[in-house]
């Protein structure tokens, strides 16, 4: 029974954050995910306001999406996922051009 509980616990909390070439701990993954998602929700709201009043929040939403994408590229955690949507050539080009912090 304890083996089964460990397997369920592992799959729920540990497997995904460690399933990349650059593993993260549970708390690091959760903190990044929650904070990044909260910011994107905020900027999505600003995008709706911008759609109604084009003179306000110009480029706010697109800039937030770009910043989020840069973080994902720099994390070296989403290469397989990016390959589903972006060519390897473009991934390499972007990786070479994106500023590392």
Residue bearing the bigger pLDDT, 37 or 95: 37
Q: Measure the CA–CA gap between 39 and 47, rounded to whole angstroms.
A: 12
pLDDT digits (tens, 9 = 90+) for 23-81: 888 898 889 999 999 999 999 999 999 999 999 999 999 999 999 988 888 888 888 88
Ranges 10-14, 31-35, 82-86, most confident: 31-35
State the DSSP H helix or E strand holding residue 34, giving kind and residue range, or none if neither: helix 26-52
pLDDT value at residue 58: 96
pLDDT value at residue 1: 59
Residues of the chain above pLDDT 90, percent:
38
Task: Report which of 59, 58, 64 is spatially closest to residue 42, judged by C-alpha positions.
Answer: 64
pTM: 0.74
What does the buried/exposed string (b/e) look like for 11-32 if buried means 16 or more CB atoms within 10 Å of the residue's CB?
A: eeeeeebeebeeebeeeebeeb
């Amino acid at each position: 029974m304890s083996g089964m509980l460990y397997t369920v616990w592992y799959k729920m909390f540990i497997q995904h954050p460690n399933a990349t070439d650059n593993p993260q701990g549970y708390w690091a993954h959760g903190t990044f995910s929650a904070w990044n998602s909260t910011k994107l929700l905020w900027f999505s709201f600003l995008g709706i306001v911008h759609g109604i009043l084009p003179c306000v929040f110009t480029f706010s939403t697109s800039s937030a999406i770009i910043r989020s994408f840069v973080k994902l590229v720099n994390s070296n955690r989403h290469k397989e996922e990016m390959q589903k949507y972006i060519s390897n050539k473009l991934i390499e080009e972007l990786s070479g051009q994106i500023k590392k912090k």
